Structure 1
């Protein structure tokens, strides 16, 4: 019984962590973009990922790509999300 409850809480905690990280990145990114004119360091960003590429198989054409644009404020948002999660 105790083991089953532990596993259930562990799965829920993973989803809560992912949700908090997502919210931290989004809100941090928005704050960084909004204040990049007045507080320049918050708007410094780095693009991470791979450019879109296309696979053409004559029957189907598939284009894949994934890019993340992290700025200093979004990194601060990630740190705050981890801190909040550790307090739960």
Structure 2
């Protein structure tokens, strides 16, 4: 699956995902420091309680929570910039 510029869009997806994860990790580490605590500022949304579907034989549990922080947005933007230069 190629993008408009002939680049692989899966590579972009993986780079953005890595940027979000690394940014969130850096934000979590910086949350305890005084001057960089703003990196961990963000919003959490999703299902606070998991949804359980009991089918008798199989029990399926659904749950999804997403936390967007300033650091994860910065990581996503840096991933897109890196992708453009590759």
In the alignment of these two chains, the number of paired residues is 80
Please give the TM-score of this superposition, normalised by the length of structure 1: 0.79
Kindly report which structure 2 residues correspond to 1:1-88, keeping only aligned pairs within 5 A, or say none. Answer: 10=2, 13-38=8-33, 39-51=36-48, 52-88=50-86
Higher helix content, 1 or 2 = 1
Q: Which runs of 5+ in 1 are unaligned?
A: 1-6
CA distance in 2, matches of 1:29, 1:23: 10
Please give the TM-score of this superposition, normalised by the length of structure 2: 0.80
CA distance in 2, matches of 1:79, 1:50: 27
1:50 positional shift: 2.5
Higher strand content, 1 or 2 = 1
Q: Which runs of 5+ in 2 are unaligned?
A: none
CA distance in 2, matches of 1:19, 1:37: 28
Q: Work out which of the two has the higher radius of gyration on C-alpha atoms and give 1 or 2.
A: 1
CA distance in 1, matches of 2:30, 2:55: 45
1:33 positional shift: 0.8
